[in-house]
Copies of this chain bind each other. A is one copy, B any other.
Amino acid sequence: MKVIADLCVVPLGVGVSVSEYVTACERVLTAAGLKTALHAYGTNIEGEWDEVFAAIKECHHVLHEMGAPRITSSLRFGTRTDREQSMEDKVTSVKRRLADEASAGKTDPS
């Protein structure tokens, strides 16, 4: 079962800046061979269910080893059986609609 997920890890008890921990998490996901895309409030992850969730577990392990006594994460994750869909497909289908509308707006005299 393939999954597209979006992970946001928040270490507690390590002060106000958490980018060191987010970076470590990125390394874990990349080392796991997963397709990822970092954004301003988390990271998109695409892969087989077991590989994605093993990597997420490893993120928590590594952050605790780095000294974070507590971690709270939020995750969105989606599976579908009707068709294959990649992270890029999801973004592209929205961007194409936006472009089509912009284009229609320019040429439509109404």
A-side residues, CB < 8 A to B, are 1, 4-6, 8, 10, 12-13, 15-16, 18-20, 22-23, 26-27, 37-42, 44, 46, 49, 53, 57, 60-61, 64, 69-82, 87-88, 90-91, 93-95, 97-98, 101
Contact = CB atoms under 8 A, between A and B. Distances in A.
Q: Which of A4, A41, A78, A91 has the most CB of B within 10 A?
A: A41
Copies of this chain: 4
Contact of A12 (B12, B74, B91, B94): B12
A103 to B, nearest CB: 14
Contacts of A23: 94, 97-98, 101
A2 to B, nearest CB: 11
Contacts of A87: 40
A90 B22 CA distance: 10
Contacts of A97: 19-20, 23
B74 A41 contact: no
